[in-house]
Amino acid sequence: MANIASAKKRARQSEKLRLHNASHRSMLRTQIKRVVIAIESKNKEAAQTAYQTAVPVIDAMVSKGIIHKNKAARHKSRLNSHLRAL
């Protein structure tokens, strides 16, 4: 544990940011899972709407720095290709 006041403050800030980032990452994974579940159930309309709601969330996580832009592009591309295969 930190002894200096600034280090204590930094530790508090880091923990708060870690929890915030974890909640964003969890929300991102949930959105992706909703699309995957809809695709696996072979429901094209539900998968399409889930994909349309997931894409802005994925893009928002890139702008917040939660995930890398290439990872976002990979997720969107793979989900879209699965969607088109239905």
pTM score over 0.75? yes
Q: Which domain holds residue 71?
A: 5-85
Query: What residue ranges in the chain does DSSP mark as E strands?
Result: none
* pLDDT reported for residue 1: 77
Instruction: Identify how many contiguous H helices and E strands the chain contains and give both numbers.
Output: 3, 0
Question: Tens digits of per-residue pLDDT, 40-76?
Answer: 999 999 999 999 999 999 999 999 999 999 999 999 9
In total, how many domains does the chain have?
A: 1
Using CA atoms, how far residue 45 sits from 23, 67, 73, 85, in Å, is: 28, 28, 22, 13
Taking residue 32's Cβ as centre, other Cβ atoms within 10 Å add up to: 19
Nearest-angstrom CA–CA distance, 25 and 17: 12
30: domain CATH number is 1.20.58.110
